[in-house]
Structure 1
Amino acid sequence: MIRKKNHIVLVGDANQISGIVTLEDILEELVGDIEDEYDSVPNYIYSYGTAWIMGGGVLMDKVASAVGLNWSEKYNQSTVPTLGEWCTEILGHPPKGGEIIEGDNLRVMPRKFRRKKLAEAVVSIAGDAHRRRTQV
């Protein structure tokens, strides 16, 4: 890989591709996780009709503030998870495409992933709380 300056190798068995190994993958196996620009998840919030498009890195206190929920007693400053971490906590596993996550009066529909982490989701108020809010 180094001599030919290739950074990606297709690993296969019997002329079939079974995976991709990058130079970063090899280095991370040797020295541990390498943080780079692709490892962080976005933390933006945009209004989207009656919902919001949010990055997976948005802290849940910011999510609550954006959607108008009061979670001041739910999270103290040292334990505020990100939207992606919250989804993982609710599901018991990292979210996947097509899953809908509901909890704490929120409904989260994942839209984009980056390296198996939630990068973007559509967030709305779940169930009756949503109906009450739109009727006001």
Structure 2
Amino acid sequence: MTRPWILPMSLMVCGAPVATALVIEGSAGAAVAVLLVFVLLAWLHSPLAFPPSTGAVEARRRSALDGRPIVYWRAGCKYCLRLRIRLGRSARRMHWVDIWRDPAGAAAVREANDGDETVPTVVVAGRPHVNPDPGWVRGQLPPSL
């Protein structure tokens, strides 16, 4: 599926000519800095910045077994990115479902949000929470992991 890669690739396509123009002007250092900023932004908005996704059905099954929250997200969402960054290493202790890759995940989010695909939607103990505070989410992790 290409939709999650549209924003990261657009950032790379925009950054390359800007860096090239700076090199032509003789500002190689500035060109490297600008290119690094565009690469970092592209990476942050790509699926690569998030833990590996699983399907919604599998995430629900695993969550029922281990009690870990399920995070429904999509690439390019600034609120998902904020949650992911603020969770730090704790993010790997949750089940992540990319709603653009999993139709069942998108359906679960629509069901929890009156038909809207509002993300991040975090499901803790079967209850959905839309765009919750990252500190609160971290506090919902089971201590035995």
TM-score above 0.5, yes or no: no
Higher fraction of helix: 2
Higher relative contact order (CA 8 A, sep 6+): 2
Superposition TM-score, scaled by structure 1 size: 0.25
Point out the structure with max Rg over C-alpha: 1
